[in-house]
A and B are shown apart, each in its own frame.
Chain A
Amino acid sequence: MFNIPLFPDSASTFAGRVDALYFFIVAVTSFFAILVVALVAFFAVRYKRRRADEVGAPVHGALALELTWTAVPLVLAMVMFYWGASVYFAMAKPPANAMEIYTVGKRWMWKFQHVTGQREINQLHVPIGQPVKLVIGSEDVIHSVYIPAFRVKMDAVPGRTTTLWFQATKAGRYRLFCTEYCGQKHSGMIGEVVVMAPGEFQQWLAGGPATGSMSEMGQKLFTDLACVTCHRDDTTGRGPSLAGVFGSQVTLQGGRTVTADEQYLRESIVNPQAKIVEGYQPLMPTFQGLVSEEQLMQLIAYVKSLGTKGQAPGQTAAPAAEGAQAPGAADTVTK
């Protein structure tokens, strides 16, 4: 209560960029706010009515002034637009080597699963210095992943797969909030991100229960749900082979092409009729309701493990094993 913070922690590579833009806009808007308030105050005193019968001077306007105060704000607005867009596009494009963590929002908790299989609830461990990409889904209503210290946020939308990425820069524990209203315990749908030195993170990752990696779980589902009967390794199946499909350009019926990203894979599982690959029949049944959001994530992880464009199968990004260990870094509580 006596510790009164006025500014958020900065613990990701985005924090500095967002704050720089913030301070730029603070400077510009403060300048105009002070200018207008000073002028209003000055005029109000200088031209205070002195006689009851006094009227104002006949001033109609001035074209040059109008043009100036249209053009100057327009130019400044365009600078803000460009700057804001450049930060946003950096946020929208995760680096290729980002470590993936599968994230599912569910009323009222956050479930995370690392590619190696470790699961976490309302807590997310990540290493310093490694780009991390959250692949986000929702089991029920819209939620939103928000980590103020990283200045990142992305909605978890049921029926869609969204992504968010960051690179943590400072060890510590940081708050994670749900910022899309989701009902009764919305304000309890909170968690923390534990940022650790890479070595410590590896130890933590190794300490988890061996449940098999995400792609192994996905492979088991792939067999259990009989996906494998149609999606074979070769081209003899009734469905297209999934080897190397992730990240590739898929040609659909009618000649349109789409990029096979997470959203495409997800849609192809729950709503297979939406996009039919050229040369195949619309035979696949929907798996809507048959697989949970987490199982969907595992299936996606499995399909990804079948290789991405320009990458040999099985080489999905794994967390870096080496790196300097900051002693006791993860114990620092910085809220």
Chain B
Amino acid sequence: MDTATAPTQTNYINVAHTAKSWLLTRDHKRIALLYLISVSVFFMIGGLFALLIRLELLTPAGDLFEAETYNKVFTMHGVAMVFFFLIPAIPATLGNFLVPLMIGAKDLAFPRINLLSWYVYVLGGLFTLAAVIGGGVDTGWTFYTPYSTAASNTHVILTGLGVFISGFSSILTGFNFIVTIHKMRAPGMTWFRLPLFVWASYATSLIAILGTPVVAIAIVLVALERTLHIGVFDPTLGGDPVLYQHLFWFYSHPAVYVMVLPAMGVISELIAAFTRKEIFGYKFVAFSSLAIAVIGFFVWGHHMYVSSQSAFAGLVFSFLTYLVAVPSAVKVFNWTATLYRGSISYQAPMLYAFGFLGLFLIGGLTGLFLGALGLDVHVHDTYFVVAHFHYVMVGGTIMAYLGGLHYWWPKMTGRLYNEGWAKFAALMIFVGFNLTFFPQFLLGYMGMPRRYHMYPEEWQVLNVLSTAGATILGVGYFIPTIYLLWSLKKGEVAGDNPWGATGLEWQTQSPPVTENFPVTPVVTEPAYAYAHQEKRFA
């Protein structure tokens, strides 16, 4: 096949046009687009709240909002971003679209469950939106007890219900991916021929199905204590507030890997495609995903070094935290080594991948500061932590998400976007991001606590820099929305494989037909077999 694909060819988008054909679709690719639209809505909502936070922090005094409003703003920023954007973003959009394509399957194993997962997500989202519109919630995205059960008089239950419901959507998606990857690989697609994005999606799915039920239970217990005064967490009812933190972080720490592992998978794909080279140490990269998923379950207590948790528990959690840092380092070294003797192209998706490497490097390395027990005592719950997890979860995940979106956009839509604008946006996001969050490391080490509506005057300059950066970042995130939408109508027709990449998804037409492949492909070589394909580009 070559680039002669005409846009009028039948594909999964133009096969039917009715609203019903979208809302009742069982096609993983259409469901991926439904997710793309809905997570983008939450990204915009979360982003708007972020903007409000940075506006308030432009001055030391609490002059833009009442304290109570500010508390709701940062809570809703966190809830919208974490539960409704970062967790589903890559798995539910790129994962949904790509996992079947990459393994040569017609669809996911359970197409109806896949559609159900989207409805569950939307329902959860509506509950949370109802809470926002009805006056908001002020507990912080962490819902710490006993504040959330005994003190807050905002919409804790409604928001919690939203998070609880949407959790089922990740469980359903995870379960669907695991079954699909086990049972539906095309002939010849052995485990060690799987693209690394599939490995990462597999590891992510394991975390989602094992961890999500625990946070769901924790949220139900919060709701029960709030309504029926069953004493679980509130000490005046005989409960233990620190127990909540154990339950919450048992999921919410691995959830960081739900955000970051798929991002790492995307980066592996991008680096392979834009160096036209197989990933250095493929097996090490694949197994490091699993190692992160497994060890990541046993590090939750590093959020609790000053919570009155026993010092010996802290010791074990710190040790395991340092252990889980190693596979991440291994991945970074392997990506770097992949560049060696590659054929490196600077197209827009690769710029996002470079951006990811820079931001994830800082995010990952600053985790080493927080893992150290005695040092974490000082920086815990300060802006140092805020900066660290934004570098990992926003710098890492969103950079990879956007890189992936740019890379697979021609496959998803059949069109190419404007390359110049895409490069410009990547640069703006990188610069804006660093300007926003780097000053926060300095603020954090000086002791600026997180979730503060007001702060001492001597910290204003760094906060102004951060707000300035956030403005650039906001514009940077907005630009792709415009040129990507523009490309749908006016973009150059992409052809089946505009990047000259390996991978089954590039061997079918763009956009693919509903069944993905006219004939089930047979796989005869490992992933990223660029060296054998020199003639393709001749």
Task: Tell whether A and B belong to one assembly.
Answer: yes
As a 0/1 sequence over residues 322 to 337 of chain B, the CB contacts with chain A under 8 angstroms (1 = contact) are 1101100110111011
Which of B283, B311, B372 has the most chain A CB atoms inside 10 A of its CB? B372
Are A47 and B151 in contact, CB atoms less than 8 angstroms apart? Answer: no
In the bound assembly, the distance between CA atoms of A286 and B455 in angstroms comes to 41
Q: Number of A residues contacting the other chain (C-beta, 8 Å)?
A: 94
Beyond known contacts A140-B150, A181-B144: 20 more, CB 8 A cutoff: A18-B377, A25-B368, A29-B366, A36-B336, A44-B354, A47-B342, A55-B534, A57-B341, A61-B334, A73-B325, A73-B330, A81-B371, A90-B374, A92-B311, A146-B447, A148-B446, A175-B456, A182-B147, A187-B455, A188-B67
In the bound assembly, the distance between CA atoms of A133 and B418 in angstroms comes to 63
Are B378 and A148 in contact, CB atoms less than 8 angstroms apart? Answer: yes
Are B374 and A49 in contact, CB atoms less than 8 angstroms apart? Answer: no
A84 at the interface (CB under 8 A from B): yes
Q: Number of B residues contacting the other chain (C-beta, 8 Å)?
A: 101
A interface residues, Cβ below 8 angstroms from B: 1, 3-8, 14, 17-18, 21-22, 25, 28-29, 32-33, 36-37, 39-40, 43-44, 47-50, 52-62, 65-66, 69-70, 73-74, 77-78, 80-81, 83-92, 107, 140-142, 144, 146, 148-149, 151-155, 157-160, 162, 175, 177-188, 270-271, 288-289, 335
CB nearest to A52 among chain B residues: B537
Are B344 and A180 in contact, CB atoms less than 8 angstroms apart? Answer: no
Contact of B340 among A59, A60, A162, A188 (CB under 8 A): A59
Are B340 and A43 in contact, CB atoms less than 8 angstroms apart? Answer: yes
In the bound assembly, the distance between CA atoms of A59 and B530 in angstroms comes to 11
What are 18 residue pairs bridging A and B, where the CB atoms are less than 8 Å apart in the complex? A4-B462, A8-B445, A22-B369, A33-B361, A47-B340, A56-B342, A58-B531, A61-B280, A70-B329, A70-B330, A73-B325, A81-B372, A88-B374, A107-B151, A142-B241, A146-B381, A157-B241, A181-B451
Contact of B373 among A48, A62, A65, A85 (CB under 8 A): A85
In the bound assembly, the distance between CA atoms of A31 and B445 in angstroms comes to 20
In the bound assembly, the distance between CA atoms of A144 and B276 in angstroms comes to 52
Given contacts A61-B282, A80-B371, contact A56 B275 (CB under 8 A): yes
Are A36 and B361 in contact, CB atoms less than 8 angstroms apart? Answer: yes
In the bound assembly, the distance between CA atoms of A188 and B452 in angstroms comes to 8
Chain B 127-146 interface residues, beta-carbon cutoff 8 Å to A: 138-140, 144, 146
B478 at the interface (CB under 8 A from A): no
B26 at the interface (CB under 8 A from A): no
Which of the segments B42-50, B105-113, B178-186, B302-310 contacts the partner chain? Answer: B302-310
Contact of A142 among B146, B332, B375 (CB under 8 A): B146
Chain A residues whose C-beta falls within 8 Å of the C-beta of B374 in the assembled complex:
14, 17-18, 21, 83-88, 90-91
Chain B residues whose C-beta falls within 8 Å of the C-beta of A80 in the assembled complex:
322, 368, 371-372
Are B442 and A6 in contact, CB atoms less than 8 angstroms apart? Answer: yes
B interface residues, Cβ below 8 angstroms from A: 62, 67-68, 71, 138-140, 144, 146-147, 150-152, 234-236, 238-242, 275-278, 280-284, 305-308, 311, 314-315, 318-319, 322-323, 325-326, 329-330, 332-334, 336-337, 339-346, 354, 357-358, 361-362, 365-366, 368-369, 371-378, 380-382, 442, 445-447, 449-458, 460-462, 530-531, 533-534, 537-538
CB nearest to B451 among chain A residues: A181
In the bound assembly, the distance between CA atoms of A88 and B337 in angstroms comes to 37
Which of B67, B68, B462, B533 has the most chain A CB atoms inside 10 A of its CB? B67
Min CB gap A160→B, angstroms: 5
Chain A residues whose C-beta falls within 8 Å of the C-beta of B343 in the assembled complex:
47, 49-50, 54-56
Are B447 and A148 in contact, CB atoms less than 8 angstroms apart? Answer: yes
Min CB gap B435→A, angstroms: 16
Are A335 and B458 in contact, CB atoms less than 8 angstroms apart? Answer: yes
Are B361 and A88 in contact, CB atoms less than 8 angstroms apart? Answer: no
In the bound assembly, the distance between CA atoms of A77 and B455 in angstroms comes to 34
Min CB gap B75→A, angstroms: 9
Chain B residues whose C-beta falls within 8 Å of the C-beta of A188 in the assembled complex:
67, 454
In the bound assembly, the distance between CA atoms of A183 and B145 in angstroms comes to 12
In the bound assembly, the distance between CA atoms of A70 and B366 in angstroms comes to 18
Chain B residues whose C-beta falls within 8 Å of the C-beta of A7 in the assembled complex:
445-446
Are A183 and B275 in contact, CB atoms less than 8 angstroms apart? Answer: no
In the bound assembly, the distance between CA atoms of A188 and B67 in angstroms comes to 9
Chain A residues whose C-beta falls within 8 Å of the C-beta of B366 in the assembled complex:
29
Chain B residues whose C-beta falls within 8 Å of the C-beta of A48 in the assembled complex:
344-346
CB nearest to B320 among chain A residues: A81
Are B538 and A53 in contact, CB atoms less than 8 angstroms apart? Answer: yes
Chain B residues whose C-beta falls within 8 Å of the C-beta of A22 in the assembled complex:
369, 375, 445
Chain B residues whose C-beta falls within 8 Å of the C-beta of A85 in the assembled complex:
315, 318, 373-374
Are A40 and B322 in contact, CB atoms less than 8 angstroms apart? Answer: no
Are A179 and B449 in contact, CB atoms less than 8 angstroms apart? Answer: yes
In the bound assembly, the distance between CA atoms of A320 and B461 in angstroms comes to 42
Chain A residues whose C-beta falls within 8 Å of the C-beta of B358 in the assembled complex:
37
Are B377 and A91 in contact, CB atoms less than 8 angstroms apart? Answer: yes
The 7 A-B residue pairs whose C-beta atoms are closest, nearest first, are A87-B374, A159-B235, A148-B447, A56-B277, A84-B372, A53-B537, A88-B373
Are A157 and B307 in contact, CB atoms less than 8 angstroms apart? Answer: yes
Contact of A160 among B147, B308, B458 (CB under 8 A): B308
In the bound assembly, the distance between CA atoms of A70 and B358 in angstroms comes to 20
CB nearest to A21 among chain B residues: B375
Chain B residues whose C-beta falls within 8 Å of the C-beta of A3 in the assembled complex:
458
